[in-house]
Amino acid sequence: FVFLTGVSKFSKVSLFSGLNNLTDITLDARWSALCGYTDEDIDTVFAPELPGLDRDEIRRWYNGYNWLGTGVYNPYDVLNLFQKRVFGAYWFETGTPSFLVRLLAERKVFLPRLQALHTNAALLSSFDVDRIAPEALLFQAGYLTIHDVRQPVLGKWMYTLGYPNREVEASLNEVLLPEYGVQGDAEAQERLTVILQRGVLDELETLIRSLFASIPSDWYRSNPLAGFEGHYASVFYSHFAALGLDVRVEDATSHGRIDMAVLYAGRVFLFEFKVVDRQATGEALQQIKDRGYADKYRARGEPIHLVGIEFGRAERNVVGFEVETIQGLAPLSAPSARS
């Protein structure tokens, strides 16, 4: 009996090789939990380690890996957490995926799309590193995992991939920002969280303008992402995702899809993006209102901020920033015992 595991899919290339007899169990539900800790493992085997740690945070940070069966936690992360008693990106920090980061930029990958990426089994089985799709490499290296599987169409299974957990989404977006022209700025990230907590969105406009103004003009002359319309939304999204916020892209409603929703500090932020030639048109905010995107979140009873942002191709920055705030519906009170 021989068991092989690693980062990239093993290629059975020789016609007469004994390795042609390998059985690939990557997408076999029976073995989905073979190399990770399950919820049951955390709650039983590691029960003595849990006091003093937020159980839900452990799940949000390190759970979520799935190969069509039982979801699992990253063992390396969990063991480091129990030893150090502090949440951190332990697995991600074992190596910077520089090749992967460059590949995503060269292929002009629309970063918000990585939250919910649709593909088939053929792409996931790719192994030729010279021609491999970024999505396949992200899956094989552990940066994306399976969120959903749909019945086969013409015999082909369709999969929805996404980030497994907060550690991977926040950490990967943080290292991607420099490739998209933005250098890390801890002070700006801290300001962003304060702005969202307070709901002072005129300060958000100033922060976002500064963010794009900080991208050097030389970057636009020498980078393959120059002229890529998705660059603006990618930078905006990654700036939020790098903080580990609850960010939802292409958020489905009964009237369409919201470009980006952020839930934080008892507030809901709905963003719509447009790229225009020069003058702001007001279409971004108007689309949020016309399609009733806020209806999905009214029952939360929280302030809902509608934010339409328009980026100018020539200015390479924000040319339109409109905000409207509405109050969600007050939650229904529970009936009294005598009613």
* Contact assessment for residue 161 and residue 147, using Cβ atoms and an 8 Å cutoff: yes
Residue-level pLDDT at 338: 45
DSSP classification of residue 118: E
- Bridge-based pairing of strands 267-276 and 303-312 is parallel
Whether 279 has a pLDDT exceeding 80, the answer reads yes
Tell me which range, 57-66, 90-99, 116-125, is most confidently predicted by mean pLDDT. Answer: 57-66
Handedness of CA 267, 64, 242, 86 (dihedral sign): positive
Helix-, strand-, coil-residue percentages of the chain, each rounded to 5: 40, 20, 40
Instruction: Give the pTM.
Output: 0.83
Nearest-5° Cα angle at 231, 103 to 267: 115
| pLDDT band of 60, cuts 50, 70, 90 | very high
139/123 Cα distance (integer angstroms): 10
Q: What is the mean pLDDT of residues 105-131?
A: 78
Phi, psi dihedral angles at 259 (to 5 degrees): -55, -45
Residue-level pLDDT at 334: 46
Residue-level pLDDT at 325: 93
| pLDDT band of 153, cuts 50, 70, 90 | low
pLDDT tens track for 172-196: 999 888 888 887 677 888 899 999 9
Whether 306 has a pLDDT exceeding 80, the answer reads yes
* Contact assessment for residue 176 and residue 104, using Cβ atoms and an 8 Å cutoff: yes
| pLDDT band of 285, cuts 50, 70, 90 | very high
- What tokens appear for 192 in the block? 């962003």
Min mean pLDDT across 93-97, 145-149, 238-242, 286-290 is at 93-97
- What tokens appear for 295 in the block? 């209806």
pLDDT tens track for 3-46: 877 766 655 555 555 566 778 888 889 999 998 999 999 999 99
DSSP classification of residue 9: P
7/32 Cα distance (integer angstroms): 16
**Distances 336 to 114, 317, 339 between C-alpha atoms, Å:** 47, 54, 5
201/281 Cα distance (integer angstroms): 19
| pLDDT band of 98, cuts 50, 70, 90 | confident
Would you say how long the chain is, in residues? 339
* Contact assessment for residue 321 and residue 205, using Cβ atoms and an 8 Å cutoff: yes
- What tokens appear for 251 in the block? 């958020």
**Distances 130 to 19, 183, 263 between C-alpha atoms, Å:** 22, 29, 39
CATH 3.40.1350 intervals, the chain: 185-327
Which conformational region is residue 224 in: left (phi greater than 0), alpha (psi within -120 to 50 degrees), or beta? alpha
Residue-level pLDDT at 253: 83
Complete DSSP assignment for 88-101: --TTGGG---HHHH
Give the domain 185-327 fold. Answer: Trna Endonuclease; Chain: A, domain 1 (3.40.1350)
- What tokens appear for 317 in the block? 């920055």
